[in-house]
Structure formats: structure tokens, C-alpha cells
Amino acid sequence: MTAALEARGLRREFGHVRALDGADFDIEPGEVVALIGDNGAGKSTLVKALSGSLAIDSGELYSDGKRVTIDSPAAARALGIETVYQDLALAPHLDPVQNMYLGREVMRSGLLGKLGFMDHAEMKEKTQRAFADLGATVRDFTAPVGAMSGGQRQQIAVARAAAWASRVIFLDEPTAALGVVQTRNVLDLIRRVRDRGIAVVLISHSMPHVIEVADRIQVLRLGRRVATYDAKQTSMEELVGAMTGAISQEEAA
């Protein structure tokens, strides 16, 4: 199987700090890969590089086996890559439908569309269907998302990414600051997105969530991938060991 997205030897320096020091990464379609590592291990930098928010100094990127360059968020979107940022990036005063289609509005056909009129009915219907397909627990499609719970907002952000992504979704700390029920909803949502054949990259500090929802776990340390584990056959101790440098798989290779 070819990787939905693969990175080889990514390097990026900020002054004297090597944020990425030859980092590798790969994910296959329909797979949840968790990206873990201590603070400063390079998780955020790697995600930014893969989603086009940050230029890399050197390294190669492949999508479906073809060499690609991802030098802007637009380039990432064109490849079917969507990112859900930690701060959600929703407009709080807009409703779920408006957020879903922000920047991608469906216009009316003919002259009205040319004049800038939008097809509200079409957007609302498609949003409701997309949310229903993913089992998102958002019931009110006309309230501003700022008035909704953190869990609902997270679901809207994930559902939006899932609706537009054809290959890969990056989720940066999707369960941080969520309650128990809401976390459960978001994790269920991640599984359903994966079941559609989309690759999901999960960045999280929560080891129980990572082990629960991920298929594979890749560990970053000091700007490079130091280990990859099958989530079914690993333990919290092993992961923490790899994160802190007590255990290492790949450095020898």
C-alpha cells in the first residue's frame, strides 16, 4: 500500500535550534497515526511543515508515491490535506453551516450567483448530511458556534476538515480541555473519519486516548522519529520510555 503522505528527512532550523532534525513520517489511507513526543520534540513544527504553514529547509514529501511540495496551506488543501488547529479556527459568531462553508461558499446558479448570492439551502442540507454521516452531536445549525460547548465546536471543526479532506487530516490536541462525554464523541468521530478511508494524524499528550484510537504511534524526540509502535501491542510505559529517550528503535538503524 502506498502512503497517503510520507516525509523523508525533513530539516528545519530556527537560528541554532534544530526543530526538525531529519524527521521521517508516514501514514496510509484509512489509518489513524498518533504523533507523540515531549514538549519541544518537534510535533507542532512537523505538522506545520506537512500542512504547508511552515517552509522546510530540506527533505522530501510524497503523496500517493508522487513527490510533492507543500509550500502553502492552499497547496496542502489542493492535495486533500486539512488541518484542525488547536485553537479551532472557527469564526465564533457564524453558525455551523457558515463555518463549514467559509471560504468555499456554494453560490446560486446564474446571474444571482455572479452577483455574490449564496445557495443557503444547499449548504445547510449538505452540512446536516455531513454531520449526520459522522454522527456529530450538533443539533442547532443556526446558533453561533461561539455559544456552543467546546466539544461541539471541536466536532464542527473535525467534521469540516473531514468534509473537505480527501487524503489526510491533522488534528492538533483535539481532546485537550474537553470533558469525558465530549472526548468520547470526538474520538468516535475520528474513528468514523478513518473508516471512510481518510488518513488521520492525531497529535496528543493524552496517552490513554492515543492508545485507544490510534492504529500506529510514532514517537518524536529532538526533531526526529525515534520509534513506531503498533497501538495494539504497546503500553504506556513503552511510549513514555521512547518519548524520554530511555528506549530507542530507529536510532540504531
Partner 1 sequence: MTTATEPDRDAAAVDEEKPKSTLQRLVGAQAFQILGVLLILIVLFSIAEPDAFLSINNFRNVVVNVSILAIIGVGMTFVIITGGIDLSVGSVLVFSGVVAAKTMEALGGQGVGVSIVGALAACGSGTLWGLFNGVVVARLKVPPLIVTLGTLGMALGAAQILTGGIDLRGAPTVLTDTIGFGRLFGQIPYLSLIALAVIVIGAVILHRTRFGRYTYAVGSNDEAARRVGVRADRHLILVYTLAGFCAGLAGILNLAFFSSTTIAGQSNTALNVIAGVVIGGTSLFGGIGTIAGTVIGLFIPAVLQNGFVIMGVQPFWQQVVVGAFLIAAVYVDQVRRAAASRGASTRRSLFSRFSRPQGARRKEAQ
Q: What is the binding site for partner 1 (CB under 8 A)?
A: 73-74, 77, 85, 88-94, 98, 102-105, 107, 115-118, 137, 139-144, 146-152, 178-182, 185
Q: Which one, 145 or 242, has the nearer CB to partner 1?
A: 145
Q: Which one, 1 or 115, has the nearer CB to partner 1?
A: 115
Q: Which one, 108 or 196, has the nearer CB to partner 1?
A: 108
Residue 170 CB, nearest approach to partner 1 (Å)? 13
Residue 109 CB, nearest approach to partner 1 (Å)? 14
Residue 149 CB, nearest approach to partner 1 (Å)? 4
Name the phi and psi angles at 190, rounded to 5: -60, -45
Residue 216 CB, nearest approach to partner 1 (Å)? 26
Identify the CA nearest to 82 among candidates 187, 192, 177, 193: 193
State how far the alpha carbon of 142 is from the alpha carbons of 132, 162, 173, 176, in Å: 16, 21, 27, 26
The packing angle between helices 180-195 and 120-134, to 10°, is 100
Is residue 153 within 8 A of residue 178, CB to CB? The reply is no
Residue 9 CB, nearest approach to partner 1 (Å)? 28
Q: Which one, 25 or 101, has the nearer CB to partner 1?
A: 101
Q: Which one, 8 or 93, has the nearer CB to partner 1?
A: 93
Residues 95, 104, 165, 176, CA torsion sign:
negative
Name the phi and psi angles at 99, rounded to 5: -70, -40
Is residue 204 within 8 A of residue 84, CB to CB? The reply is no
